Amino acid sequence: MASQSRRGGLSLPDRRGSSKQEPNILDKINNSQIVSKGKQAASDTVFVAKKLLKSTGKAAWIAGTTFLILAVPLIIEMDREQQLNELELQQQSLLGAPPVGPAPPKFIISGQIIWINLKLNVGVMTSAEGKPVLGFWFEIIEVALAHGLVNLSVCGYGIPDDFNPPEAVTCLSIRI
């Protein structure tokens, strides 16, 4: 390297010298410059994209939870109010017809049981996924807070085709 610079003179000789003498190196340098710039650009892009994704995720989380707290109860309540209005309108339009009974509860009524009991029921209940399941079940009531309003019972269910022992499932039945 020292012999090269002395040969080149005072002005910046190295490049010319190197370009005259070793074009391959210049090509390589150019290539590597472009390549390095490309790599830099790629890493910048990845960095910016990651940040964008993170901030979008944060914004989506904040927007989602805020919507859940502010708007969802409102929608539910307004829907109930509308249903109540429709019901009243129906009653008014019928004018004297006996009033429609309350809507059937969504959960299975389990009845008022005040002592430890074993009871066999056949019917329809909602499974853990929320789908109606036809089957038989027996209830082992261990804790029953019976006030006529809320009953808590532990019950197991099984489908009659299965001969497997029924799975124990905790179901909350509310009688309104």
Partner 1 sequence: MAGFVPPGTTLLGNEATSAETKKVNEVHKNVDYMNLPCPIPYEELHREALMSLKPEYFEGMRFDFTKGLNQKFSLSHSVMMGPVEIPSQSSEAIKIPTAHYEFGANFIDQKTMLIGRVLTDGRLNARVKCDLTDDLALKANAQLTNEPHMSHVMLNFDYKGKDYRSQLQLGNGALFGASYIQSVTPHLSLGAEVFWAGQHRKSGVGYAGRYETDKMVASGQVASTGLMALSYVQKVSEKVSLATDFMYNYLSRDVTVSAGYDYALRQARLRGKIDSNGCTSAFLEERLNMGLNFILSAELDHKKKDYKFGFGLTVG
Decide whether 107 or 136 has the Cβ nearer to partner 1.
107
**Residue 52 vs 72, nearer CB to partner 1:** 72
d(CA 44, CA 106): 55
Cβ 81 to partner 1 shortest distance, Å = 5
Burial level of 61, CB count in 10 A (0-12/13-18/19+)?
Answer: exposed
Within its chain, how far is the Cα of 173 from the centroid? Answer: 26
First and final CA of the chain: distance in angstroms? 95
Sheet containing 132-141, strands listed edge to edge, beginning at the edge strand earlier in sequence: 117-126, 132-141, 150-158, 167-174
Compare residues 2 and 149 and give the one whose CB is closer to partner 1. Answer: 149
Q: Are 155 and 137 in contact (CB under 8 A)?
A: yes
Minimum distance from residue 103 beta carbon to partner 1 (Å) = 14
Smaller CB distance to partner 1: residue 55 or 66?
Answer: 66
Using CB under 8 A, list all residues that contact partner 1. Answer: 62, 65-66, 69-70, 73-74, 77-78, 80-81, 84
Least Å distance, CB 70 to partner 1, is 5
CB of 87 to partner 1, least distance (A): 12
- Closest CB to partner 1 among 96 and 102? 102
Nearby residues of 97 by Cβ (< 8 Å), 6 or more positions away: 91
Chain centroid, CA 47 distance in Å: 27
In whole angstroms, how close is the CB of 176 to partner 1 at the nearest point?
Answer: 8
